[in-house]
Each structure stands twice: as C-alpha cells, then as structure tokens.
Chain A
Amino acid sequence: MKIIKTVGMLACISLPLMLTASVSADNYPDRPISTIIAFGAGGNTDVGARILFPAVERELGVPLNIINRPGGGGWVGWTQLLNASNNGYTLGYINTPNLITGYMDPQYRRNVNLDDFDLIANHVTDYGVISINKNETRYSNIDELVAYAQSNTLTASTTGANGDDHIAMLKMNHHYDTRFVPVHTTGTAEQRAAIQGGHVDVNFSNVGDTNMAHRSGDLKIIAIMAPERSEFIPDVPTLDELGYPGVISWSARGIAAPKGIDPDSLARLEAAFIAGMQDPEHLAKMAEMGLKVDIRTGEDYRAMLEEEEQGVRSLSDLLGW
C-alpha cells in the first residue's frame, strides 16, 4: 500500500514538472490542446469545429479537446481564453461581431481589444442576407422594399441586439433612410418562424441559416450583403450590384490564442489549421451545411477584423454608445 502511495505521489509531483519542461517549440505540440468554444455543444460554431478538428488533429498529431463555455454572448469563453496560459495548449474560437461589439460596447466596460489575441486562422465567413415572406405582396425586390421602408416603419427580425443582423439593419437605416425597427430573437429557429409565419415584415439573417429555405421556396432572399454572390444562392444579387453600396455584413469565426504564444508554435498551428481546412471531407460537409469556408491568416485575418471594428465604430451613434 505504502509503495503504491509513494509512487502515486511521485507521479503527481513529477508529471506537471515533466509537462512544463517539455514546453519548447521544437516538439510542440506533444500533448492534447484544449480549444474553448464560447457557444454550446451543437451550435453552428461547435458543429463546424467538430467537423474540422479531425483533419487538424491528423496534422498536429495530438488531440484537440473541445471545451464548450457558453454564456454572455460568447464572453464567458473569451474571458477564459484571455486568462489562459499562452503556452499554446489553450486555443479558442473567436466570433465576430460579438467579440468586437462586446469590447466596444461601453455598457460592459471591458478592457480588451484585438491586440490581446494572437490570431491563427479564420475558418468560416457567413455573409448576411435580407429575406421576405414568400407570399409578401407589398414589395418583391430590394428597390420596392427600400422605397416602402422609407415611408413606413417595418419590423425586422435579427438574432440578437448588437449582432451582425442588427448592425446590418442599422447600416441600411443609416445609408438609405429606411425605417427598420429590430425584433431581436434568441436564435435562428425563432427568427425563421417569425418571417415564415409573416409575423415580421423583413428578416436580416445569414446565408448559412437561410439558404436552404430559400432554395425550397419557404422564404425569399432578395439580396446578399456581400462583396460577391454566394455559391449556395447564386441567383441572389448583391446589394452593391443592385445599386445599394456600403452595406456589407458578415459573421466570421476563427481560431485564436491568448497573446504572446511562441512564434514557432504559432506558425506550426497556422500551417496545421490551413491544411485541415483544405481537407476535402471537411469542405464537403461544410458545403452541405451552407457554410463558406474562408481561410485567412496573419495580416489578412487581422485586416478583416479591423474592418469590422471600423464598421461598428461608424455606427456607435446608432447603437447608442
């Protein structure tokens, strides 16, 4: 008994020592990596990660363990990520615009910005779309909708205050004097029911959660708020094409680490995630879900997030900040 105890105690003491000793970039990674997902199991971010990770694990040679930490619109998980060690064994998904509105909104007094993260790679960019009920008679295209909304108050469903749908709606009001008022819902299911049941006048959502309903005729997408058309709904023109420039909307999610990770480890992670994201099976599954894999790393990824920051800043009056 005594011997077992001693051996056990030695193991308990020496194991963490061994682990700390091995944190050098040469053999990184040599043990499982934790990945914090700031949303619940089964959400879009979570499912996307579970599709991607097997391919990345093959590249890295160690498991990527998912830790779901939902709450606070993502901020419970992101706070944990920011407080984690930057030894490369804790990563996390960051989601825009919630991350950015979350630290820019003065109501929350958060002392965080993009510099607190080391960005690894963007995974998915899901552009915004404007859709209407399939039996809508007051307007059938964007010109008629904008004209109608300039003289009438119209209710618009979104997936939450300060989310991408809400910001897109405010951008429309800002640029084109429309009078959309937001009806914030708690998620895609409720939002879809609201527009398909005709309880709201117009719906601001994303390609990922609306493209199938559009293809099956359950609702009608009249414009995509993206620089170019989407492969999932090629028949839908962009707002820019239709003569309404200046309103681009997306929600994006990618992988980041707490600031200060070893540069060699960062390069190793970046390479593994790029390779994993290019895996054909991953790409096929994401396409089935209507999600656009949009691989961006380094400065490219950072520029995208800074553009989002800039866009939110220009709306701070409308958001009441």
Chain B
Amino acid sequence: MTIDTALLLSVFAQLASPDVLLMLCVGVLGGIFLGALPGLSATMGIALLIPVTFGMQPVAALVLLSAIYAAAVYGGSITAILIHTPGTPASAATAMDGYQMTLRGQGLKALGTSTLCSVIGGMVSVVALLLLAPPLAQISLRFSAPEYFLIAVFGLTIIGSLSSGAMAKGLSAGLLGLLISLVGVDVMTAYPRFTFGVAELENGISLIPAMIGLFSISQVMIQAEKLHNAKLHSSDVPKLEGSLFPSRAEWRKLRGTISRSSIIGVLVGCLPGAGGDVASWVAYNEAKRNAKNPDDFGKGEIEGLAAAETSNNAVTGGAMIPLLTLGIPGSAATAVMLGGLYIHGLQPGHELFTVNAHIVYAIIVGLLLANMLMGIVGLALAKQVVKVASVPFAILAPIIVVLSVVGSYTINNSMFDVYVMTAFGLLGYLMRKTGFSTAAIVLAMILGAMAELGFRQSLVMSKGNLLGYYFDRPFSLLIMGLILLALLSPLLLRWKRKRALRVLQSS
C-alpha cells in the first residue's frame, strides 16, 4: 500500500483544527454519559445532534457523531459493572461478570479491564475499517435471512449454560424469553399477535425497559431484602481496594479472548441485521466455550467481562464499514449517521474514498483518536467513578429506581414502557429468588425476534426448497458447523473425561 503524503497531511491538518478537537472531546464525554444512563442511547444522542451539526464542517460534525457512538457503547459498561444496570443492551453480557467482580471488591479492576478492552476492540475495528473495508463490506452482503437465522440459533446455544448447573431452569427461562419475543405485529402478515388491542404492544415488548426491569429493579429488590434481613448498614458495601489493571497472568489469559472477541465484533458489526447486543453474547459464549474454567463464568470471571466489552466496541468500527462503502448502515446508530452524511453532501460508496478521501479518512482517524481519548478519560475517571459502588445502598437504591423509571420512559416517551419495566422487575426478582436466569430471557428476547424474522424470510426466499437453499450457501454451512460444534463439544468433552477416568480406574 502506498501512502499518499498529501492526503495524510490533509487528514492531520483537518483533525488538528480546534473545532474538530473540541467536537472530539464533547463527543467522547457526552457519549460516555449517554451510554452510562439507561434509556439514553447513542442513537438518540446522534439523532438530536444532527440538526446542530448543520452549520459545522463535515469532518467536525461526523467526528462528533462517531465519537458519541463509540463512547456510548463503552459508557454502557460502567453502570453495568458498578450497579448491575446495563446502560445499553450491548452491555447486558458485561453485567454478568462485571457486577460480580464489583461485589468481590474488584470494581476498579473491572472498570480498568472494561476500559482497556473497549479501547482495544474499538481500535481493532477502526483499523479494519481503514484497511479492510471493501472486502468486509462484500462479505457482509453475502449474509442474508438464512445466515441471520443461524447466527441467532448459534447465540441461543448459550442459554442452556446460563443458569450454572440447572440446565432445565436455563432452558425454561430462555423459552419464556422466546415467547415474549412473539408479542407484536407479525412482520410477514401484519397480524397483531398477543397485543390485546394495545397499540404499544404492536412493536413487541420493548427490550430496554424489560432489560432494566430484569437487571436493575430485581437487583434493587434483592439488595433491599438483604439489607432488611441482616440489618446490615454501610458495612455491606464492597471494598474498593485492588488495582486498576489486570495482573500479568490475567493479561496472558485474556489475550486469546480479546483477539477472538475483536474479530467477532467487527464481523457482527458489518452485518446490517445484527449489532452490539448480539456480538457481546456471541463473544461471551465463545469465551466461555474456550475457557479452562467455564464454570466460573457468571461468577466474576474477568474473561467474560473482557469478551463482552471487547466485542461490543469492535462493533462500532465494523458497523461503519457497510455504512461508508455501501450506504447500508450496520446498526441503529449508524442508520442515523447516514442522514448526517447525506446532509453534509457526502455520498457513501466509491466516491467517498476517492473524491472525498480527505474527509472520510479524517473521520476514520478521528474515530481512532476518539477511542484513545475514551480510554484516557475512562482510566482517569475510574477511581472516582468506582466510588458509586461504595455509596450506601439506602442512598443508591432510590437513585437506581429513579434512573430506571426515567430511562424506561425516555426510550419511546411512553408511560407504558415504565409499566413494562416494573412488571419485568417483579418477574426478575421472582426468577432470581428461585434460581432462574434473567440473562437468558434478555438473550432470548434479542435473538428470538432475529431468528423468527430470518427463518420466515428465508422460507419465502427459498421458493419451496428450504433445505437445498440452506445447504447451498457457504456462510450458512459454516454457521451450521459452528452450531454443531457448540452443541457437541460439551458432550465430547464429558465423554473424553469419562473415558480417561475409566482408563485411570482400570489401571
């Protein structure tokens, strides 16, 4: 690859201008804030800011929008780790192990790991965007309904293991989630299913209010109960000691997970039909499957946290690949950004990388800088932010409840969603008291709708020859192979272990 010096100089000249640097800082700080608060999302922030960017230079405007996007995905992990309140659906998997680490007094390390992993995932994805955009965009076009169905099924294979040890409970929680995902208008026939004449239910049960209820409200109720029973006071607060960074041994363990999760994130990000919420669970699943100690996942395993956080930030650059090369956004937030590109007279496609190369490369390098800045801000603030976990619960609980209500309302400006959140809060409490996994419901809600849509679409697309259609597509075959591997590997492992045991006994 030849490096065009003039282009390079122009890129840095544009980025060095004060308004671009200002927008970079505003975007990163604003994005972290938007992401951390449940109910406020990057998508919403970008949508509200697009009219504000009319008067700006295109580079400043798009650096602002993309910095918000990247930083919000990271910001979602902070509240997930510290108070079990994922700021975005992409951080639901983060809450699994992140919050357990906080309870064990490793909150600082969890924040540090999450920050570093987010930065690494984000940077890898930007590098992929810089160097591999055209081929990756072509790959993303090879994915359609059958592949989306299979990816969703692949993701669903994790459900069985989400309630550690109690397979039947995990599966039944997953089934409940799938059942919930059936509510709403049937995409193929427009029939309103299980809506009982309530217009709010026609788009289905909103994921974010349900997730806030299942994770945050149930957590508040469980903590409150503990506090009441044990008459514990401030002494119940987790300690804050420990280092910000993972130890050298932990780093060595994380290397594989981080690389794998980065790749998963970039690839899932490229796909218009799947985003950070899907990527984080797929990466979590893969990390667990490849781990030496899969049973520790969900109990504060640093690898689980790293997998989720690396992959959801790797989605950000990945989602911009089809956006910039094909004009097909890879996620909800980038769909809004597409409007921003058009308004500034930037047409995605070949022309963007030739005629407007100086602008698009400035935006991409700007995103790289945004990721670095996000890391610096995150690490600098971690020691202050972590104190949230040491706030006495009696003070913290009402704040979490208020945030949950406001967040649920804000998503669709809907009181109905607040009722949904409350109902799911109660459901979550009862489930956790009886050992059912709330994460399994969230996972099934995310993937159930995707699986159904993909399968129904592929039924039409196959024109009657469904099996032939699925077996004729290379990526579909590949994912089927992965699903088989995921399903059979625990059985194979058990069989091997048993045989080894028998050999040992007989000798």
Partners in one complex: yes
Residues of A within 8 A of B (CB): 40-42, 44, 46-47, 50-51, 54, 67-73, 75-76, 79, 105, 107-109, 153, 155, 160-162, 181-190, 192-194, 196-197, 199-200, 212-213, 215-216, 218, 285, 288-290
Asked if B394 lies at the interface with its beta carbon under 8 angstroms from chain A, I say no
Find out whether the CB atom of A153 lies under 8 angstroms from the CB atom of B463. Answer: yes
Instruction: Give the chain A neighbours of B463 by CB distance below 8 A.
Output: 153, 155
Complex formed: what's the CA distance from A124 to B43 in Å? 24
Given contacts A47-B336, A73-B190, 16 further A-B contacts (CB under 8 A): A40-B412, A47-B47, A67-B413, A76-B200, A76-B203, A182-B460, A184-B188, A185-B457, A188-B335, A189-B335, A193-B273, A197-B141, A218-B349, A288-B342, A288-B343, A290-B342
Find out whether the CB atom of A160 lies under 8 angstroms from the CB atom of B412. Answer: no
Shortest distance from the beta carbon of A280 to any chain B beta carbon, whole Å: 13
Find out whether the CB atom of A197 lies under 8 angstroms from the CB atom of B51. Answer: no
Asked if B46 lies at the interface with its beta carbon under 8 angstroms from chain A, I say yes
Find out whether the CB atom of B460 lies under 8 angstroms from the CB atom of A50. Answer: no
Find out whether the CB atom of B141 lies under 8 angstroms from the CB atom of A216. Answer: no
Asked if B194 lies at the interface with its beta carbon under 8 angstroms from chain A, I say no
Q: What's the count of A-B pairs with C-beta under 8 Å?
A: 156
Asked if B86 lies at the interface with its beta carbon under 8 angstroms from chain A, I say no
Which of B347, B413, B457 is close to A184, meaning CB atoms less than 8 Å apart? B457
Which of B142-150, B249-257, B374-382 lies at the interface with chain A? B142-150
Complex formed: what's the CA distance from A105 to B414 in Å? 25
Instruction: Give the chain A neighbours of B330 by CB distance below 8 A.
Output: 189
Shortest distance from the beta carbon of A82 to any chain B beta carbon, whole Å: 11
Complex formed: what's the CA distance from A51 to B47 in Å? 11
Residues of B within 8 A of A (CB): 43-44, 46-48, 50-51, 54, 140-145, 185-192, 197, 199-203, 272-273, 322, 326-330, 332, 335-336, 339, 342-345, 347-351, 412-414, 453, 457, 460-461, 463
Complex formed: what's the CA distance from A68 to B44 in Å? 10
Find out whether the CB atom of B342 lies under 8 angstroms from the CB atom of A72. Answer: no
Complex formed: what's the CA distance from A192 to B349 in Å? 14
Shortest distance from the beta carbon of B398 to any chain A beta carbon, whole Å: 23
Find out whether the CB atom of B197 lies under 8 angstroms from the CB atom of A189. Answer: no
Complex formed: what's the CA distance from A267 to B195 in Å? 39
**Given A41-B47, A109-B197, A161-B189, A193 and B140 touching (CB < 8 A)?**
yes
**Given A71-B200, A76-B414, A190-B273, A199 and B350 touching (CB < 8 A)?**
no
Complex formed: what's the CA distance from A167 to B142 in Å? 28
Find out whether the CB atom of A192 lies under 8 angstroms from the CB atom of B140. Answer: no
Complex formed: what's the CA distance from A71 to B273 in Å? 19
Shortest distance from the beta carbon of A284 to any chain B beta carbon, whole Å: 10
**Given A50-B51, A71-B412, A76 and B202 touching (CB < 8 A)?**
yes
Find out whether the CB atom of B328 lies under 8 angstroms from the CB atom of A196. Answer: yes
Find out whether the CB atom of B339 lies under 8 angstroms from the CB atom of A47. Answer: yes
**Given A70-B203, A155-B460, A197-B144, A216 and B191 touching (CB < 8 A)?**
no
Instruction: Give the chain B neighbours of A185 by CB distance below 8 A.
Output: 457
Find out whether the CB atom of B51 lies under 8 angstroms from the CB atom of A194. Answer: no
Residue in chain A with minimal CB distance to B323:
A189
Complex formed: what's the CA distance from A193 to B147 in Å? 13
List 10 contacting pairs A-B, 8 Å CB cutoff, sorted by A: A41-B336, A50-B50, A68-B412, A69-B413, A70-B203, A160-B187, A212-B349, A288-B344, A289-B342, A290-B342
Find out whether the CB atom of B326 lies under 8 angstroms from the CB atom of A196. Answer: yes
Instruction: Give the chain A neighbours of B46 by CB distance below 8 A.
Output: 42
Instruction: Give the chain A neighbours of B188 by CB distance below 8 A.
Output: 161, 182, 184
**Given A75-B199, A213-B327, A42 and B339 touching (CB < 8 A)?**
yes
Find out whether the CB atom of A199 lies under 8 angstroms from the CB atom of B144. Answer: yes
Which of B200, B272, B339, B413 is close to A189, meaning CB atoms less than 8 Å apart? B272
Find out whether the CB atom of B327 lies under 8 angstroms from the CB atom of A47. Answer: no
Instruction: Give the chain A neighbours of B43 by CB distance below 8 A.
Output: 40-42
Kindly list the 4 A-B residue pairs having the minimum CB-CB distance in the complex, ordered from nearest: A42-B336, A72-B202, A42-B47, A41-B47
Complex formed: what's the CA distance from A200 to B462 in Å? 10
Which of A47, A212, A288 is close to B348, meaning CB atoms less than 8 Å apart? A212
Find out whether the CB atom of B185 lies under 8 angstroms from the CB atom of A73. Answer: yes
Which of A41, A44, A67, A107 is close to B192, meaning CB atoms less than 8 Å apart? A107
Residue in chain B with minimal CB distance to A54:
B51
Which of B191, B329, B339, B413 is close to A107, meaning CB atoms less than 8 Å apart? B191
Find out whether the CB atom of A218 lies under 8 angstroms from the CB atom of B326. Answer: yes
Find out whether the CB atom of A186 lies under 8 angstroms from the CB atom of B187. Answer: yes
Complex formed: what's the CA distance from A188 to B332 in Å? 11
Complex formed: what's the CA distance from A213 to B322 in Å? 13
Among B185, B189, B201, B336, the one with the most A-chain Cβ atoms within 10 Å of its Cβ is: B185
Complex formed: what's the CA distance from A69 to B47 in Å? 14
Which of B191, B192, B350, B412 is close to A69, meaning CB atoms less than 8 Å apart? B412
Instruction: Give the chain A neighbours of B186 by CB distance below 8 A.
Output: 161
Instruction: Give the chain A neighbours of B203 by CB distance below 8 A.
Output: 70-73, 76
Which of A70, A76, A107, A289 is close to B190, meaning CB atoms less than 8 Å apart? A107
Shortest distance from the beta carbon of A133 to any chain B beta carbon, whole Å: 10
Complex formed: what's the CA distance from A73 to B332 in Å? 17
Residue in chain A with minimal CB distance to B335:
A189
Find out whether the CB atom of B339 lies under 8 angstroms from the CB atom of A289. Answer: yes
Shortest distance from the beta carbon of B193 to any chain A beta carbon, whole Å: 11
Shortest distance from the beta carbon of B482 to any chain A beta carbon, whole Å: 21
Find out whether the CB atom of A71 lies under 8 angstroms from the CB atom of B327. Answer: no
Find out whether the CB atom of A184 lies under 8 angstroms from the CB atom of B50. Answer: no
Complex formed: what's the CA distance from A189 to B329 in Å? 6
Shortest distance from the beta carbon of A43 to any chain B beta carbon, whole Å: 8
**Given A69-B413, A70-B203, A193 and B190 touching (CB < 8 A)?**
no
Complex formed: what's the CA distance from A189 to B332 in Å? 10
Instruction: Give the chain A neighbours of B413 by CB distance below 8 A.
Output: 67-69
Residue in chain B with minimal CB distance to A289:
B342
Complex formed: what's the CA distance from A161 to B460 in Å? 14
